[in-house]
Every structure is written in C-alpha cells, then in structure tokens.
Amino acid sequence: MNQDCSLEERIISVLKSIYDPEISVDIYELGLIYDVQVFGIDKVKIVMTLTTPNCPVAESLPLEVKEKVKSIQGIKKVDVVLTFDPPWSREFMSEEARLELGLL
C-alpha cells in the first residue's frame, strides 16, 4: 500500500475490505464505524457498532476489525470498542451503500 497515505486513510482502506456477512456492503460504507482515532504512530482506537445487538457476527466482526487493522505495518495496539449508543440505523449508511442496496 502507498506509504504516502496517512495512517487513518490506510485504516479506512482496510475497514472497507471487511464486509457485513448479511449485507453485501463493507462495514465502513454501512456506517458501522463510528470513530477512528490514532494515538501517536502505533495505537488505534475504533468505535463501532453492529446492525443489531443480537447480530450473528457480534463476536467475530470486532475481532476481524482488530486483526485486520493490527496487520497494518507499524500499528502495535488496536482497541475496538463496541457500542450500541446511538443504535445503528440506515441513516448512517453512505449514499454509495444505499445505492448498492437499492434504498435511494
């Protein structure tokens, strides 16, 4: 990956490679990522949600996010915080995701 990209851009690129298994849209465009914070040069905190609290991937999706972001060169620590406040809704989806799902 291009080293000229900021770390945040590289993180977002990785997040866009992770898809919600029930909806064929990546978790970033789906609006499941509420916040990406970079601390220093090697620590990242990601605040995310799921489409529903009883989502079948509630255990595995945050772990996948953590592992994939941690695989970015130079990142040593990744904290993934799962929240349901505010609860996810379709309004959080990007226009691209809504178009993909025929909601526009």
List pLDDT tens digits, range 39-97.
988 999 999 999 888 888 888 999 999 999 999 999 999 999 999 999 999 999 999 99
- Domains plus CATH for the chain? 7-86 (3.30.300.130)
Rounded to two decimals, the pTM is 0.90
Cα separation, 39 vs 77, in Å, equals 10
**Cβ neighbours of residue 27 under 8 Å, at least 6 residues apart?**
15, 18, 19, 20, 33, 48, 61, 65
Cα separation, 17 vs 44, in Å, equals 17
Token pair listed for 103: 């909601």
Residue 2 in this model has a pLDDT that exceeds 50: no
Contact 80, 11 (CB under 8 A): no
